[in-house]
Amino acid sequence: MAKNAKQRILDGALNLLRAEGGGAITLEAAAKEVGLSKPGLMYHFPTKEALMLGVVAHVADRWEKLLLEQLGRPLETATPAQRIRAHVDVALNAPFDRADFAIYTDAHYRTALTDAWVCRIEPWLTLPDDLPGAVRARLTAARLLADGYWTAAATGVFPVPGRDRAELLAVVEGLLAEDPAS
């Protein structure tokens, strides 16, 4: 039951960010969103900091789960190109919105919140030092293209027009073309 309540609280906090005009995540607002009293919410998240840590971890967990599903194998067995491809596929195809973007960007202003992202996502994006320069450049370019696409799609600011999507995907495919060294 406690896990279900925690999940409801975290989902409710994200709903506050999705609200028209953007909502604020406070203990009071999150409790009201999920039909709990403030003390009931504080049983699970005793402070606003604890709630924010939970929300960031919740969103980062979702990213990690989507990445693993896309990869279809244990992370440790994947090549750098396969890891970057999974990241690109998730960034270009999974449904994200301003709440996801807000949680991601706000987390980078406080070390405790940043750590949730780093420990989950860094293994997907870190390229080995011995990877040939041209391969590193292609994989990095594909990742950055996907990150930019995700940012535009999640925020709704300068999104890629639908008519350009197929060509964009072709560019990504060219960057991710399998290379024996990757």
Given this model, what pLDDT does residue 35 score?
94
Given this model, what pLDDT does residue 162 score?
85
- Asked if 3 and 56 sit in the same domain, the reply is no
Given this model, what pLDDT does residue 51 score?
92
Please give the tally of structural domains in the chain: 2
Which residue, of 12, 28, 46, is where some domain finishes? 46
Token look-up 């590193």 returns 136
- Asked if 14 and 72 sit in the same domain, the reply is no
- Asked if 149 and 169 sit in the same domain, the reply is yes
- Asked if 57 and 32 sit in the same domain, the reply is no
Look at residue 41 and tell me if it is in a domain. yes
Based on its alpha-carbon atoms, the radius of gyration of the chain, rounded to whole angstroms, reads: 18
Crossing angle for the helix pair 111-125 and 80-93, to the nearest 10 degrees? 120
- Asked if 89 and 170 sit in the same domain, the reply is yes
Tell me the backbone φ, ψ of residue 128, rounded to 5 degrees.
-65, 145
Report pLDDT digits (tens) over 42-85: 999 999 989 988 988 888 899 999 999 999 999 999 999 999 99
Which range marks the domain in which residue 118 is found? Answer: 49-176
Q: Which two tokens stand for residue 67?
A: 């990445």
Token look-up 């999104």 returns 159
Look at residue 181 and tell me if it is in a domain. no
Give the burial class of 152: count Cβ atoms within 10 A of its Cβ; 0-12 exposed, 13-18 middle, 19 or more buried. middle
- Asked if 71 and 137 sit in the same domain, the reply is yes
Instruction: Find the DSSP H helices in 25-79.
Output: 27-34, 38-44, 48-71
Q: What is the dihedral of CA 73, 172, 105, 123, to 10 degrees?
A: 30
DSSP-based three-state secondary structure for 92:
helix
Q: Which two tokens stand for residue 130?
A: 């011995």
- Asked if 8 and 71 sit in the same domain, the reply is no
Report pLDDT digits (tens) over 82-106: 999 999 999 998 888 778 887 877 7
Bigger pLDDT: 109 vs 163: 163
Given this model, what pLDDT does residue 2 score?
58
Given this model, what pLDDT does residue 1 score?
44
- Asked if 83 and 132 sit in the same domain, the reply is yes
Given this model, what pLDDT does residue 3 score?
62
- Number of neighbours of residue 56 by Cβ within 10 angstroms: 22
- pLDDT tier, 23 (very low <50, low <70, confident <90, very high otherwise): low
- pLDDT of 178 > 80? The answer is no
Look at residue 38 and tell me if it is in a domain. yes
